[in-house]
Amino acid sequence: MTNIQDIARLAGVSTATVSRVINKRGYVSALTKQKVLEIIKKLDYVPNANAISLKKGKTRQIGIITTLFSPIIIQFVRTFSLIAEKNRFNITLFITNGDPAKEILALEMLRGKQLDGIACLIRSNTWEVIESYTRYGPIVTWQRLQNEHLPSVFMDQFHAYQVGLEHLYAKGYRKILSVYPMSQGLNTKERIRAYSEFAQRYHLITDIFPHFEDKMLVQDGEELATWWLSQKYRPDAIFCANDEVAAGLMTSLKRLGFSIPGDVGILGFDNTEVAHLLDLTTINYPIDQQAENAFFILQNKLNNTSHLLNTLTYKLVERKST
Amino acid sequence: MTNIQDIARLAGVSTATVSRVINKRGYVSALTKQKVLEIIKKLDYVPNANAISLKKGKTRQIGIITTLFSPIIIQFVRTFSLIAEKNRFNITLFITNGDPAKEILALEMLRGKQLDGIACLIRSNTWEVIESYTRYGPIVTWQRLQNEHLPSVFMDQFHAYQVGLEHLYAKGYRKILSVYPMSQGLNTKERIRAYSEFAQRYHLITDIFPHFEDKMLVQDGEELATWWLSQKYRPDAIFCANDEVAAGLMTSLKRLGFSIPGDVGILGFDNTEVAHLLDLTTINYPIDQQAENAFFILQNKLNNTSHLLNTLTYKLVERKST
DNA sequence: TTGTAAGCGTTATCAA
DNA sequence: TTGATAACGCTTACAA
C-alpha cells in the first residue's frame, strides 16, 4: 500500500534519500535519517520486493527440484535451506513426482527471473533439457554427471560400495546379492562396477542371482522378501539399494519368522533414521556436506566468488543386521 | 535479456500488441499474432515475472511454514503443493527449526509482496504475532485456533482420541498411559479432555502415572521405554502422541526382549509409513484432505470465491501392536 | 485492430 | 548532503 514516495513526501525529502536510509548507502545526515526512520515506522512501511527484484535483476530465491521426498532428500533439503537462509537466500521447493512438465515449470521460473539459481536433486527431464536452461542461471545437480555446464555434488559411490562389500566378506558372507537403485543412474553403474571388481578379486560367482534394479522403496524390499522366500538357492547376504529397501526386506522376513542376520545378512545404504530404528548396518553418506557444497557452487557462480567446497568422506556404520 | 520492447520493435508493432498476443487478451489480427509469435520464438523470449508481479501486485506464490519435517508434515506439504500447482500457484517452503526469527522472515515476505498467502503448519512465534501479519495477506493454519483472522484446517482430535481409547478398552487394557505432543497445543488439550472423559466413564484411575507431554520424536519413544522398564507398576497399554514415538517405544522394548502387545499394548497416531512398517495400530488422520482445505481457504480469500471444503473423517487402523 | 503513454515501486546516476 | 530523473519490463485505459 504505502510506498517509498509516501515516506519521502511525509518526511519532506526525496525518494532517493529514503532509499539511502533504507539501504544504508551514501551520505544521509543524522537528522534526516531519524526523521525518515520515524515515518517508516509510523506508516509500517516495507519496500516492495518485486520492484527491487525488477530493478536489480535478482531475487535471492533458489529453487530445489526433486521427484520425491525420501528421507535422504529431506535431509539434503533441510541442510541446504539452512545454509541458504544463513546467506539471505530463500528456497522454493519443487516436488515433481517425476512429471517432466512440473520440472519445466521450475526451470521456467529461472528463465522468467523468479529464481536466481536451481539445485536439481533428482531430475525428470533429460540432462540435455536441463542443461539448456543453464544459460538462464546456475544449476547444480546431485546425481553424477560429466558436464561442464552442470556442476554436481555427486560423491563417487564406487569406493563406498567397496567398503560395504568388504564388510560383508569379512563377516563371512560369500553368496551376496546386490540390489541397485535407479537403472539409469551413474550411481548404479558405479556400484555394479564395484561389485564386479569385488567378485573377481575374491573369485566369487556373480551370475547365480537375477539382476535387481530400480529398487528404492520399502515396498520393493517387501517384494524382495517374497522373492528370497521362493528360492531354493538363496543369497546369504543382501546389499540393498538404500535403507528403505533394507527396512522393507528385513521387517518382511522377520514377520515370516526368519532371523536377521542369522538366516540372511542385510546391508543398507545412506544411514537414514530408519536404519537407526531397525538396527540396520549401513553406509553413512555425508548428505549434509553435499548439500552445503551444492549451495556453495551456486553461490560462487552467482557472486563470482570461490568459496572452498567440503571434502566428502563416508564410512560403514555397523549395527545388527550383518 | 530480451524484453517486450525488443519483440515489439522487431515485429514492427507496439508493446501493447505484443502483450495482447502473450496474454491472449483483446483483439489481434491473425497476421500480426503470427508475426509476433515468430519473433518471440526466434529470440527465446519470456516475460519477466518480477515486472508482472510488480504491475499486478500478485505473485502467485504461496509460503508454507513449518518447524520441522516429520512424515506427517511431508505428506501435508506434498498434497498442498500438488493442488497449488494445479491452480498455477508456486510453493515456497520455510523450515524454521523452531526459530521465531526465521518464521518472521517468511511473514515478512508476505508483507513485502513476495507471497500472496501463507499456510502456517507449525508456528514458532505466538499467535498474536502471526495474526498481526494477516493484514498483509491471507494466512491459514493447521493447529487449532479460535480466531476470526486465522482460519484453521484443524480437525477436532477429541473424537479421534476417544476412538483410540475405546479400542484399547475393548482390547482389555485398563492401565492406559497417555502420552501427549506439544504441551501448548490445543490438540493436546483435546486429547487430555478425551482421556479424562473416558477414564471417568469407565471408572479408571488416571493419576497413577506421570504426565508426559512434548513427546514427538522417535527418541522420545526410546526414552519412554527406559521409563517403562524402571517402573514396578507398569501401564499395560501406551497411547502415543504419534507414530514416531510409538515406533521408538516399540523397537526399544523389543530390543530389551519384551513382546508387543504381549507385555504392553502400543497405539500410535497419524498412520504414517512407519506405522505400516512396524505393524503399529494407529489412528488414520486425513492429512490430504486437510492440506487441500488449507489451499482452498487461501484461494477463496485470494479470489474472493467460495470453493467448498472437504468434510474430514478419521478411523482406527488395527494392526499388531494392541 | 493497433498504438500511446501512464503507471507499478524501486535504485542509481548525475547534478546541485 | 540531497534531489531530479531515467531506467527496470510489463499491463491497461484511452485514443485513434
- For residue A294, the domain's CATH number is 3.40.50.2300
Q: Provide the sign of the torsion angle of the four alpha carbons B64, B65, B68, B73, taken in this order.
A: negative
> By three-state DSSP, how is residue A131 classified?
helix
Residue A41 falls inside a structural domain: yes
Residue A149 is predicted with a pLDDT of: 86
If asked whether residues B104 and B117 sit together in one domain, one would say: yes
Residue A102 is predicted with a pLDDT of: 86
pLDDT confidence tier of residue B145, bands split at 50, 70 and 90: low
Distance of CA A30 to the CA centre of its chain: 48
Residue B146, pLDDT > 80, answer no
pLDDT greater at residue B89 or residue A147? B89
Q: What is the CATH number for B37?
A: 1.10.260.40
Residue B313, pLDDT > 90, answer no
Nucleotide nearest to A3 (CA to C1'): C9
Domain extent for B138:
59-155+287-311
Chain C positions under 7 Å from a protein CB? 1-5, 7-13
Residue B15 is predicted with a pLDDT of: 95
Residue B62, pLDDT > 80, answer yes
Please state, in angstroms and rounded to a whole number, the distance separating the CA atoms of residues B18 and B27: 11
Residue lying closest to nucleotide C5, CA to C1'? B16
Strand partners, B93: B64
Residue B131 falls inside a structural domain: yes
Please state, in angstroms and rounded to a whole number, the distance separating the CA atoms of residues B210 and A153: 49
- pLDDT (mean) for A149-165: 90
- pLDDT (mean) for B15-32: 93
If asked whether residues A33 and A178 sit together in one domain, one would say: no
List, for residues A99-142, the tens digit of each pLDDT value: 898 899 899 999 999 999 999 999 999 999 999 999 999 999 99
Residue B319 falls inside a structural domain: no
Say how many domains are in chain B: 3
Residue A83, pLDDT > 90, answer yes
List, for residues A158-193, the tens digit of each pLDDT value: 999 999 999 999 999 999 999 999 888 788 999 999
Average pLDDT, chain B: 93
Nucleotide nearest to B28 (CA to C1'): C1
Q: Taking the model in full, what pTM does it have?
A: 0.77
Residue A322 falls inside a structural domain: no
List, for residues B202-252, the tens digit of each pLDDT value: 999 878 899 999 999 999 999 999 999 999 999 999 999 999 999 999 999
Please state, in angstroms and rounded to a whole number, the distance separating the CA atoms of residues B161 and A318: 39
Q: Residue A254's closest chain B neighbor by CA?
A: B278
Please state, in angstroms and rounded to a whole number, the distance separating the CA atoms of residues B91 and B101: 20
Question: Is strand C less than 7 A from the beta carbon of B20?
Answer: yes
If asked whether residues A188 and A276 sit together in one domain, one would say: yes
Q: Kindly state whether B319 is in contact with chain A, defined as any CB-CB distance less than 8 angstroms.
A: no
If asked whether residues B42 and B98 sit together in one domain, one would say: no
Residue A173 is predicted with a pLDDT of: 96
* Among candidate residues B277, B307, B45, B129, the one with its CA nearest the CA of residue A273: B277
- pLDDT (mean) for B17-22: 96
- pLDDT (mean) for A153-159: 87
CB-based contacts of B29, cutoff 8 Å, min separation 6: none
Task: Give whole-number Cα distances, B131 to A32, A66, A103, B146, B147, in Å.
Answer: 33, 33, 34, 12, 9
- pLDDT (mean) for B128-148: 89
* Among candidate residues A315, A230, A242, the one with its CA nearest the CA of residue A275: A242
Please state, in angstroms and rounded to a whole number, the distance separating the CA atoms of residues A79 and B95: 10
Locate A107 and state its grid cell. Answer: 526451470
Residue A290, pLDDT > 70, answer yes
If asked whether residues B248 and B292 sit together in one domain, one would say: no
Q: Provide the sign of the torsion angle of the four alpha carbons B18, B22, B25, B29, taken in this order.
A: positive
Question: How many angstroms separate the CA of B79 from the C1' of D9?
Answer: 34
Question: Which residues of A are less than 8 Å from B111 in CB distance?
Answer: 46
CB-based contacts of A189, cutoff 8 Å, min separation 6: none
Identity of the amino acid at A55:
K
If asked whether residues B76 and B181 sit together in one domain, one would say: no
- pLDDT (mean) for B40-61: 96
If asked whether residues B252 and B189 sit together in one domain, one would say: yes
If asked whether residues B110 and B166 sit together in one domain, one would say: no
Percent of chain A predicted with pLDDT > 70: 99
Task: Give whole-number Cα distances, B162 to A241, B189, B197, in Å.
Answer: 41, 13, 9
Nucleotide nearest to A28 (CA to C1'): D1
Instruction: Give yes or no for a contact between A257 and A281, defined as CB atoms under 8 angstroms apart.
Output: no
Residue B215 falls inside a structural domain: yes
Locate A275 and state its grid cell. Answer: 536404519
If asked whether residues A124 and A211 sit together in one domain, one would say: no
Average pLDDT, chain A: 93
Footprint of strand D on the protein (CB under 7 A): A 12-17, 20, 26-29, 31-33, 51, 54-55, 57; B 1, 3-5, 15-16, 19-20, 22-23, 25, 46-48, 51-52, 54-56
Contact A81 B93 (CB under 8 A): yes
Partner residue opposite A95 with nearest CB, options B78, B278, B279: B78
Residue B38 is predicted with a pLDDT of: 94
Residue B69, pLDDT > 80, answer no
Interface of B with A in 70-99 (CB under 8 A): 74, 77-78, 81-82, 85, 90-95, 97
- pLDDT (mean) for A52-70: 92
Residue A93 is predicted with a pLDDT of: 84
List, for residues B247-271, the tens digit of each pLDDT value: 999 999 999 999 999 999 999 999 9
**A90, A94, A116, A250: best to mutate for the B interface, most B CBs within 10 A:** A90
Residue B144 is predicted with a pLDDT of: 67
Partner residue opposite B92 with nearest CB, options A90, A105, A111: A90
